[in-house]
A = this chain, B = another copy of it.
Amino acid sequence: MSEIVSDASNVAACVSNTVAENVTASSPIGVFDSGLGGLTVAREIMRNLPNERIVYFGDTARVPYGNKSKNTIVRYSRQIVRFLKTQNIKAIVIACNTATALAIDEVREMAGIPVIGVIEPGAKMAVKATANKKVGVIATRATIHAMEYTNVIHRIDPEVKVLGQACPMLVPLVEEGWIHDRITDEVILRYLDDLLEHGVDTLILGCTHYPLLRSEIRKLIGDKITLINPAYETAIELGQMLEEKGLSNTTPRNLSEPHPYRFYVSDDAGRFTDFANSILPVDVKTARIVPIEEY
């Protein structure tokens, strides 16, 4: 009974936040990314908000987003949000730095439910962490070009110097599986050279693939620089937001529940599930293919 009461009170809270009326606290969270990288965000949600159900969409037919234009990213993000909304979700997590940087305003405008991106939580934590007010950001070309980390950090503290470095090789290296690898070390050092030269004391891993390189980066730069993982910060902030809006799921998952985590992709489900199983704490059996261009 307590579950039903809890849901009912949450529905009231939802409505006051312009959430669709059939959405309750037990509805899933919609999480999307250009492909595989957003699974690091899903992983942090699973670890830190174990009662939440997730519907994940990876746009594997059009991956990567990192070298594409704002118009294209906005169009793709809108299609994905229209699909996710068919899944009765209560909130959206844009688990992709590029889509957050280029399309979060457009997604918020159309969503009708709370939307959180990965940039703001990561930027806030970086401002807290930096002592010398020098923050480095590594990300895709599109994310760096959009300057969104810089904008958010400067809204909090205009005195923080933000140095961005586009690292287009790091996603292919992770997807090739060359994680603990001499070649990857050399690529990382080349990209970080300038940021280290400028003495940043905080480094934002501004692409959802990069947490998979965290231990390698840590090994290369030593322990004097604070590494910020926006995936983790986003999960924490998501938890607070759901709490505030009365949307936290209080019903623990149980073994008889068929699909607490559902995965959808636009292409090539086989490779997706292999990757998902290599990084998630749960077993991913299938990912369904969605004709995303039709949304």
Contact = CB atoms under 8 A, between A and B. Distances in A.
Residue of A172, A173, A175 ringed by the most chain B CB atoms within 10 A? A172
Contact of A61 (B68, B176, B187, B266): B68
A69 B168 contact: no
A267 interface: yes
Nearest to A166: B176
Interface string A36-58: 00000000000000000000000
B190 A183 contact: yes
Contact of A169 (B176, B268, B271): B176
Contacts of A169: 169, 172-173, 176, 178
Interface residues of A, number: 26
B187 A183 contact: yes
B267 A72 contact: yes
A243 interface: no
A268 B68 contact: yes
A62 interface: yes
A62 B187 CA distance: 25
Closest 5 CB pairs of A and B: A172-B172, A72-B267, A69-B268, A61-B72, A62-B62
Interface of A: 60-63, 67-69, 71-72, 168-169, 172-173, 175-176, 178, 182-183, 186-187, 190, 266-268, 271, 293
